[in-house]
């Protein structure tokens, strides 16, 4: 099939690629741009492993053609940790053992990171509800929920200006925001 030129803006960088118009955004991110942290688990929009942000909104990259992403800012999992430091949510998931095989993890991080920015004080039920669009086969979700709760606490402490009370966790906060988009 004929390829067309597409310019994509991913993690703040511009990528000019030639792809078939039917090529999925997930495949282009992985194969043409070379960012393989976005995982493809079902290719029919159910599992959530391929979640990226398109203009800051969590989006299933397997349900979108790459050409549709032209002119939009795409953010992938690779953008979240900066200078070798996990961001707040990643760190909390690490501490709470909120991942096992890790295949669903990038999608979960992208979904819940965006969720926490819009819902800084979620209840456990809220978190479980927000997480329900991402399938995990390993963890039984409990430790993911604990990780998200922990991250929410750190975000809350940071926004209330309690920098000293937040301890070490707050030092990662500047990397946890979205200024890299």
Instruction: Select from 9, 17, 32, 36 the one that contacts other proteins (CB under 8 A).
Output: 36
The C-alpha atoms of residue 92 and residue 78 are separated, in whole angstroms, by 17
Tell me the CA distances in angstroms from 157 to 87, 165, 173, one per residue in order: 15, 7, 10
Task: For tokens 């819902």, name the residue.
Answer: 119
- Joined together, the tokens standing for residue 88 give 């707040």
Stretch that binds other proteins, among 40-48, 114-122, 152-160, 171-179 (CB under 8 A): 40-48
The C-alpha atoms of residue 39 and residue 131 are separated, in whole angstroms, by 17
Instruction: Select from 133, 149, 153, 156 the one that contacts other proteins (CB under 8 A).
Output: 133
| CB-based contact 96:150 (threshold 8 Å) | yes
Instruction: Select from 35, 69, 88, 116 the one that contacts other proteins (CB under 8 A).
Output: 35
CB closer to other proteins, 56 vs 95: 95
User: Where on the chain is the footprint of other proteins (CB under 8 A)?
Assistant: 1, 20, 22-23, 30, 34-44, 46-47, 49, 76-78, 80-81, 86, 90, 93-95, 97, 99-106, 109, 127-129, 131-145
């Amino acid at each position: 099939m004929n390829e067309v030129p597409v310019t994509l803006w991913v993690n703040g960088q511009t990528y000019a690629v030639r792809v078939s118009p039917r090529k999925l955004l997930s495949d282009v991110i992985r194969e043409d741009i070379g960012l393989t942290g976005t995982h493809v688990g079902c290719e029919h929009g159910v599992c959530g492993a391929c979640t990226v942000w398109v203009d800051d909104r969590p989006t299933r990259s397997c349900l979108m053609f790459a050409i549709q992403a032209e002119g939009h800012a795409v953010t992938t999992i690779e953008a979240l940790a900066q200078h070798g430091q996990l961001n707040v949510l990643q760190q909390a998931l690490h501490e709470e053992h909120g991942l096992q095989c890790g295949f669903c993890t990038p999608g979960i991080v992208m979904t819940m990171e965006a969720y926490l920015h819009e819902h800084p004080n979620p209840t456990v039920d809220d978190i479980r509800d927000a997480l329900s669009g991402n399938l995990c086969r390993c963890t039984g979700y409990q430790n993911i929920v604990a990780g998200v709760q922990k991250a929410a606490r750190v975000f809350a402490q940071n926004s209330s200006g309690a920098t000293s009370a937040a301890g070490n966790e707050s030092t990662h906060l500047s990397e946890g925001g979205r200024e890299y988009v």
